[in-house]
Amino acid sequence: MNRRRFLRGLGGVVIALPLLESLGFSRFAPSVARAQAAVPRRFVTFFQCNGANMSKFWPTAGFGALTPAHFAADRTLHPLLNHRDKLLLVRNMHTAPKGFGWDMNTGGDDHQKGIGHKLTGAPLDGSNFAQGISLDQFLAKQLNPQGRAPMTLGVHRVGGGGTGSISYRGAGQPVTSETNPRLAFQDLMGLKYSTTGTPTPTPTRDLQSERRKSVLDLVRADFENIRVKKLSKGDQQKLDMHFTTIRDLEKELMGGGVVAPIASGCTPLDAARVAEIQGADRGVNVSDDAQFKKIGRMQMDMIALALACDHTRVATLQWGSGAGGPTFKWDGMNHTYNHHKLSHGLDNDGNTGNAVAGYEDMLYNIDRWFCTEYAYLLDKLKAYDEGNGTLLDNSVVMWINELSDGKAHDFRDIPCVIAGSAGGQLKQGQYLNMSKVANALDAYIPDLDAPHNKLLTTIANVMGAKDTDGGPVKRFGHPNYGAAGEFTQLRV
Amino acid sequence: MPAKSAKTSALRLAFTVALALPSVSGCQGVVESPLGPGGSGSKPGAVDGDGLSNTPGTDGFLGGQLDALACENRELHPGSMPGLVRLTHRQYQNAVTDLFGVESKAASEFVSDQEFYGFDNNAEKLSVDSVQTLRYRAMAEKVAAEATSNLAPLAKVVPCVSSQRNDGCRDSFLSGLLQLMFRRPLSDAELTRYRTLFAAGTTLYEEGDAFTRGLRVVIEAALQTPTFLYRAELRDTPLDGKVVQLDAYELAARLALTFWSSLPDATLMAKAESKKLGDPVELELEVRRLLDDPRASRVLDEFHAQWLEFGKLRFDKDASAFPGYDKAAFEQAARAEALTFARNMTLKESGTIADLFTSPVTWVDATLAQNYGVQAGAGVTRVELDPSQRAGLFTQTAFLAGHADALEGSPIHRGAYVQRRVLCREFGTLPPNVGTVPPASPGAATTRARVAQKTAAAACQYCHKHINPTGFAFESFDSLGRFRTQDHGEPVDATGALELDQGVPSSFSGGVQFAAELASSDKATRCYETQWFRFAYGRAEGHDDACLLREIDNKAKAKSYNLKELLVALGTSRAFRFRAQEDL
């Protein structure tokens, strides 16, 4: 399909072509899936670690419709005041499998559980890796153009052992988040940009695509050469997974090498921002504390762009690691100890340190800072008009934490805020209790009744994912933990 | 989603036992399974919370319970191994450096691999996802452009590329370069494919002459093909239904990838071609040649950086307590010291495993010389530190200062590291809520007293009875790893007692004495061998490997545990020359 036909195929929506071309979007063409009329739904996980100051997190105002009183100036969620009509505050969920040793046969410490269980609903194995696929990967397989892997980005130091990954390709297959925006951008633009990241001049012949096709032809032949040999099951799986990604590259090239804008909303980043992202690691270590905010915003800009342009419909952003995190020294904070130490109110990570005076306020400031960054992401998504609403309206943007009370490593009453309705399917502007209890932090653990995997199931279904039988997803996560069914109270 | 395998049954048992302990606020379960792990997949977990990492536990010697007699008259079968093993990112990077003279930074640009059993090169787990495929492509395009903009390095491999540039040279290039990249001669069909691509490539770039374009497109493709990216050992004529002897080319590839972290050179390929590697004497000579080559130091550094858990060392110090502390210079020097020491002990100084634990010799720059209080010349100098204060790796700066807080040393981090990675002890699940509300420490002035007090509960002692005495042995060293005799105005107490080897009580005072105990401990020796086994073979040892490990141990023992001889034993072992197939 050539470009002109593609543009016509968009139902008359006019793309600001010069602008796109200036950023190398010139060779875009749509995939088949994208030619569908319906605007896709998207799912973003905004993942915070080390728990929160729970005394300030939830509103003091009661359950029900959100009002300005729910976002009082001295509460963590105050920065979301203007987004309140797009929000769902999801209260009193607990992580399943449970922490504190209450669920058997899951490995790791409470940090590792808090991360590994979160998007998988599955227990950890002996290497402290989750024994199941995560929701983002599950959804991407079904919903992404060509089943492309979801975008998995991180900020600061993530990766390495069980506290490293929220995203799992499958049981025992953690996915390492990309913490370098330059590389993430290269991946995002991989189909349209030369390796230096500068837009390719439009040649008379598209030599790059032709070359890549020739190379892929040969690579595919070499693959076939190995595939005909007698392979173990494990080898076969590995080879197939790799081969599929090669096939995907071929398919994309056949479409012209392209990520297609869905609508006029797919506005590329401006050149100055692109230059900043491409220089993200020039002379600095992207994992340094001082880069935390800068890198985070670059990653969020790219997530918004990737969703708007339908490069992916699913993305995760992991801010730091459990049992780690930066020392906050910006936006009015000037802490001496890093996030994890403060989460325990201590001056070291080993639980033998001295108490840090005023740590609760420091945690509150950190939580509020994350809330502000979450609001930044929502603003970005809101800025993309998709005709039937904004990109935010067509998304589920979940801000969720590894733990609730970090000091106790608590897995009950996990802080969870959702923005967007997946195209009108989730309620908006509501503060809702998932449990029979008023405060799960006071509940006796065996009595807990709101396992978080029900939220995962709910999201899977509002996103339009299917179970193996073709019907709605009945129970996301491991069958031995959590519960079947959705939190129906979240649905419209 | 369950995806349970037989491998996890031991794990389930371990957790069940651990969780059956009465306490909810104590250390759960030091797992000292009498059996090693069942393969390179899941394995009973060693878990440390809050900044401590997790690593595998028991060494592969079946907890010392294996009767020597049991290995006699027994076919020595290695544990199973994938037939396709993706190159590590470092191997890729080194290959590109060696072939094209291009510094690619692939190891940091590619999607990082996860650690299993303490190493990120697990043969079964190395895979390629969609992002990595894009990265391979981007890298291949970059490397091919650079490699063909300066043909001098490539001309060392295929001389005619800078002079002749005709069809004959094209064929020499294809067979010469690709044979090294693929670690075997090409089939005619393959040669034809690459010839076709070469021809197509001559019109597929705007820059360069036709011949250079041909070279370039071939390099682009060769760096993305599975034939290059996977070490393939797919010969399928098992000797007894399962175990396969590697052919000469497969063995050559394993040798180079293992001992150079790169591709074979022409000499090694020639030995493969002449089938000489099948002869054990020739094989041993070749292993020695590889170890005598400068490329071997890459492997020594990779191994020791991972064994010493470089990724988890932290060098943040309190600026007011340590005025003038230059984190970047200090950290760089400390890491370099540890690597240089281990590398030189192995490759240059005929060191033994015991020397790693006890030698007062080290290599320092000006920053470290000052930290140790010794005189040193410009650059990096070999010095002998005060043997009453310093002995081996664990009295050196990287270990001591990297396992420390901003103000003080951390006995828990130091002790847990040594227990996990030097003694292969596996700790079970960290209990929920452990120590999250620390008791006050009235009257506890020293670090040791505070740690002792806060881990005094019986439940904590389940783990800390091992961790604390080990860590306390290093109390004579402050947060920067400097020797000290006083802590908070009181004399340092670095005494302790432990059973390093079962049934052999030992007592010590200070890091030097503790290091001597490590040096004489069978367990520490075997643990070090096991760590090398895991790294060199890219898998955890299984039951089937117990006798092979014993054989390696015996060979090393016969050479007084000389470090280089241990590597020779690993490279000549049946576990290296044979592989057991995975389930089809």
pLDDT (0 to 100) of residue B450: 87
Residue A89 pLDDT > 90? yes
Burial of A432 from C-beta contacts in 10 A (0-12 / 13-18 / 19+): middle
A323 touches B: beta carbon within 8 Å: yes
**pLDDT-derived band of residue A36, with 50, 70 and 90 as boundaries?**
very low
Residue B126 pLDDT > 50? yes
Cβ <8 Å between A190 and B138: yes
Tokens of residue A130, six digits: 């989750």
pLDDT (0 to 100) of residue B315: 92
pLDDT (0 to 100) of residue B122: 93
Q: How far is CA B109 from CA A183, B217, B231, in A?
A: 7, 22, 21
Average pLDDT for residues A131-147, to the nearest whole number? 93
Residue B285 pLDDT > 70? yes
Optimal mutation site among B114, B188, B412, B453, interface A, most CBs of chain A within 10 A: B114
Average pLDDT for residues A278-305, to the nearest whole number? 94
**pLDDT-derived band of residue B429, with 50, 70 and 90 as boundaries?**
low
Of A454-468, B82-96, B498-512, the one with minimum mean pLDDT is: B498-512
Mean residue pLDDT of chain A comes to 85
Please list every residue in chain A whose beta carbon sits closer than 8 Å to the beta carbon of residue B194: 218
- Distance separating alpha carbons of residues B295 and B302, to the nearest angstrom: 12
Q: What number of C-beta contacts closer than 8 Å exist between A and B?
A: 284
pLDDT (0 to 100) of residue B24: 28
State the smallest CA–CA distance between residue A206 and chain B in angstroms. 9
Please list every residue in chain A whose beta carbon sits closer than 8 Å to the beta carbon of residue B85: none
A211 touches B: beta carbon within 8 Å: yes
Cβ <8 Å between A219 and B455: no
Please list every residue in chain B whose beta carbon sits closer than 8 Å to the beta carbon of residue A101: 19, 24, 28, 429, 431-432
Residue A182 pLDDT > 70? yes
- Distance separating alpha carbons of residues B393 and B514, to the nearest angstrom: 12
Q: Nearest Cβ partner of A232 from B11, B454, B581?
A: B581
Cβ <8 Å between A161 and B115: yes
The question of ipTM being above 0.90 is answered as: no
**pLDDT-derived band of residue B438, with 50, 70 and 90 as boundaries?**
very low
Tokens of residue A142, six digits: 């079904």
pLDDT (0 to 100) of residue B430: 58
pLDDT (0 to 100) of residue A146: 77
For A46-84, what is each residue's pLDDT tens digit? 999 999 999 999 999 999 999 999 999 999 999 999 999
Please list every residue in chain A whose beta carbon sits closer than 8 Å to the beta carbon of residue B196: 218
Average pLDDT for residues B275-297, to the nearest whole number? 95
pLDDT (0 to 100) of residue A125: 87
A108 touches B: beta carbon within 8 Å: yes
What is the percentage of chain A residues whose pLDDT exceeds 90? 63
B194 touches A: beta carbon within 8 Å: yes
Which residues numbered 51-70 in A keep a CB inside 8 Å of some CB on B? none
pLDDT (0 to 100) of residue B114: 85
A158 phi, psi to nearest 5 deg: -125, 165
A117 touches B: beta carbon within 8 Å: no
Q: Nearest Cβ partner of B1 from A133, A348, A408?
A: A133
A207 touches B: beta carbon within 8 Å: yes
Residue A327 pLDDT > 70? yes
Q: Are A452 and A414 in contact (CB under 8 A)?
A: yes
Tokens of residue A218, six digits: 């040969």
What is the percentage of chain B residues whose pLDDT exceeds 90? 67
Average pLDDT for residues A463-475, to the nearest whole number? 96
Optimal mutation site among A50, A100, A102, A127, interface B, most CBs of chain B within 10 A: A127
**pLDDT-derived band of residue B68, with 50, 70 and 90 as boundaries?**
low
Q: Are B415 and B469 in contact (CB under 8 A)?
A: yes
Average pLDDT for residues A26-43, to the nearest whole number? 54
In 3-state terms, what secondary structure has residue B504? Answer: strand
Average pLDDT for residues B474-488, to the nearest whole number? 96
| Number of Cβ within a 10 Å radius of residue A252 | 21
Cβ <8 Å between A164 and B193: no
Optimal mutation site among A103, A166, A193, A218, interface B, most CBs of chain B within 10 A: A218
- Strands B486-487 and B490-491: what pairing? antiparallel
Report for A62-71, A260-269, B8-17: range of highest mean pLDDT: A62-71
Cβ <8 Å between A111 and B431: no
**pLDDT-derived band of residue A351, with 50, 70 and 90 as boundaries?**
low
| Number of Cβ within a 10 Å radius of residue B96 | 26
Which residue, among B68, B351, B106, has the nearest Cα to B223 in the 3D structure? B106
Cβ <8 Å between A187 and B135: yes
Q: Are A483 and A451 in contact (CB under 8 A)?
A: yes
B205 touches A: beta carbon within 8 Å: yes
Q: Are B148 and B212 in contact (CB under 8 A)?
A: yes
Residue type, position A143, single letter: L
Cβ <8 Å between B42 and A127: yes
Which residues numbered 124-183 in A keep a CB inside 8 Å of some CB on B? 124-129, 131-133, 148-149, 159-162, 164-165, 169-176, 178, 183
pLDDT (0 to 100) of residue A148: 84
Average pLDDT for residues B167-192, to the nearest whole number? 96
Residue A434 pLDDT > 60? yes
B115 touches A: beta carbon within 8 Å: yes
Average pLDDT for residues B139-161, to the nearest whole number? 94
Residue with tokens 């600001």: A16
Please list every residue in chain A whose beta carbon sits closer than 8 Å to the beta carbon of residue B230: 226, 239
Average pLDDT for residues A119-139, to the nearest whole number? 94
Who contacts B220 (Cβ-Cβ below 8 Å, separation ≥6)?
A211, A215, B140, B141, B144
Report the greatest alpha carbon distance in chain A: 70
Q: What single-letter DSSP state applies at residue A176? A: P
For A369-379, what is each residue's pLDDT tens digit? 999 999 999 99
- Distance separating alpha carbons of residues B409 and A353, to the nearest angstrom: 12
pLDDT (0 to 100) of residue B64: 47
In 3-state terms, what secondary structure has residue A48? Answer: strand
Locate the chain B residue with the closest alpha carbon to A168. Answer: B1
Residues in chain A: 492
What is the percentage of chain A residues whose pLDDT exceeds 70? 84
pLDDT (0 to 100) of residue A190: 61
pLDDT (0 to 100) of residue B164: 85
Please list every residue in chain B whose beta carbon sits closer than 8 Å to the beta carbon of residue A242: 127-128, 133, 226, 229
B407 phi, psi to nearest 5 deg: -110, -40
Average pLDDT for residues A315-323, to the nearest whole number? 93
- Distance separating alpha carbons of residues A352 and A350, to the nearest angstrom: 5
Mean residue pLDDT of chain B comes to 85
pLDDT (0 to 100) of residue A159: 63
Q: Which is more confidently placed, A267 or B144?
A: B144
**pLDDT-derived band of residue B502, with 50, 70 and 90 as boundaries?**
confident
**pLDDT-derived band of residue A12, with 50, 70 and 90 as boundaries?**
very low
Locate the chain A residue with the closest alpha carbon to B199. Answer: A214
Locate the chain B residue with the closest alpha carbon to A194. Answer: B138
Q: Are B347 and B361 in contact (CB under 8 A)?
A: no
Q: Which is more confidently placed, A31 or B470?
A: B470
Tokens of residue A266, six digits: 């797919």
Locate the chain A residue with the closest alpha carbon to B233. Answer: A231
In DSSP notation, B402-460 reads: HSB-SSSB-HHHHHHHIIIIIS--EE-PPPTTTTSSPPP-TT--SHHHHHHHHT-SHHH
Residue B523 pLDDT > 50? yes
Average pLDDT for residues A427-456, to the nearest whole number? 95
Residue B482 pLDDT > 60? yes
Q: Which is more confidently placed, B458 or B301?
A: B301
Average pLDDT for residues A134-144, to the nearest whole number? 96
- Distance separating alpha carbons of residues A198 and A186, to the nearest angstrom: 10
pLDDT (0 to 100) of residue A352: 62
- Distance separating alpha carbons of residues B163 and A190, to the nearest angstrom: 35
State the smallest CA–CA distance between residue A214 and chain B in angstroms. 7
Residue A1 pLDDT > 50? no
Q: Which domains does chain A have, with CATH numbers?
A: 42-179+286-490 (3.40.720)
pLDDT (0 to 100) of residue B48: 29
Cβ <8 Å between A239 and B84: yes
- Strands B243-245 and B578-580: what pairing? antiparallel
A348 touches B: beta carbon within 8 Å: yes
Locate the chain B residue with the closest alpha carbon to A181. Answer: B109
In 3-state terms, what secondary structure has residue A130? Answer: strand
Q: List own/partner pairs for A414-417 with CB under 8 A and 24 or more apart.
A: A414/A93, A414/A94, A414/A95, A414/A452, A415/A48, A415/A52, A415/A54, A415/A57, A415/A58, A416/A89, A416/A90, A416/A91, A416/A93, A416/A452, A416/A455, A417/A77, A417/A80, A417/A87, A417/A88, A417/A89, A417/A90, A417/A374
Locate the chain B residue with the closest alpha carbon to A219. Answer: B225
